[in-house]
Amino acid sequence: MDMSSLRGKTALVTGAASGIGLETALAFARRGADLVICDLDETRLGAAGERIEGLGRSVLARRVDVSSADEMRAFAAEVHQGIDAVDILMNNAGVAIGGPFLSTSLEDWNWILGINTLGVVHGCHFFIPNMVRRAQGGHVINVSSAAGYSASSMLPAYNATKFSVLGLSEALWEELRPHAIGVTAVCPGLIDTPITRNARLVGEMDKPEMREDMVRGYQRRGYTPDRVARNILKAVEKNRLVAPISPEAWALYYVKRFAPWLLRRIGLLLAKRAQG
């Protein structure tokens, strides 16, 4: 998709009140797109809407839980009253769980699968059919992660959701190609956003010092969500199917492809270090 000007186009971003979603919504608005945004956090969503309007673009902002099929159906119905279809659909809303499988409860699984996996399915289910029917192309951006192709014993639930988003995106890429709808699975590495404060930590990771270590580690790494947004725009422009973002995400991508055994060694070392 030509991203040089998005004037006259509508971009939808889920989880747009914070982090990568917020910065990408602002980047779309700066290129001239009108925005449809949703999030669970109404206060921050309102602030995001004001920033988009401040850039001279129109915005429809709604509190929507992406894990709820009913809420997503109602949201899509409202959006499609105003336009035939969105031009860019960005399924970004996501949460994280850190800690081993043996400490992850079924409630944890339902929570993360509901948001990270079904949230993306709901976005695709309720918005892509209109894009196809309108027959003017478009682009679907699904936010996976470097954890969507490299697994770790510290992230089993998160890995399962992000691998599923990457798999769905690869399948969709093929199905939507005849409709001139591109698909990009965005796979960032360690990005300094509030996700580190909001992640659920379980088992041996459920310690305040572990969280502080993680927050500080991501801050020191210093890769900001506005850089991710810039790279997402480039990946869509190039119609890239899988878009690792940040040097560590690229490194893991190549190690996984060419030396998967090395990835297992690194994983074992990191897990040992995390256990102290």
Ligand X SMILES: NC(=O)c1ccc[n+]([C@@H]2O[C@H](COP(=O)([O-])OP(=O)(O)OC[C@H]3O[C@@H](n4cnc5c(N)ncnc54)[C@H](O)[C@@H]3O)[C@@H](O)[C@H]2O)c1
155 binds ligand X (CB under 6 A): no
- The residue from 158, 223, 253, 254 that is catalytic is 158
18 three-state secondary structure = coil
Per CB under 6 A, the list member of 12, 72, 190, 252 interacting with ligand X is 190
Interacting stretch for ligand X, rule CB under 6 A, among 133-141, 185-193, 207-215, 268-276? 185-193
Residue closer to ligand X (CB basis): 10 or 18: 18
Per the CB < 8 A criterion, the answer to whether 154 and 205 are in contact is yes
Judged by CB under 6 A, the stretch of 73-81, 92-100, 121-129, 203-211 that binds ligand X is 92-100
- Does 158 participate in catalysis according to the annotation? yes
User: Could you tell me the two tokens for 262?
Assistant: 């090395």
- Does the protein bind ligand X through residue 137 (CB under 6 A)? no
Residue with tokens 């993680």: 214
48 makes contact with ligand X (CB under 6 A) = no
Report whether 55 contacts 61 (CB < 8 A). Answer: no
* 87 scored as a contact of ligand X (CB under 6 A): no
Closest by Cα among 244, 198, 242 to 218: 198
Residues 96-125 that bind ligand X (CB under 6 A): 96, 115
Task: With residue 221 as reference, give the H or E element that holds it.
Answer: helix 208-221
Rounded Cα distance between 272 and 268, Å, is 6
Q: Is 159 in the site for ligand X (CB under 6 A)?
A: no
Residue reference for tokens 């709604």: 62
Q: Which of 10, 24, 92, 231: binder of ligand X (CB under 6 A)?
A: 92
Residues tagged active-site = 158
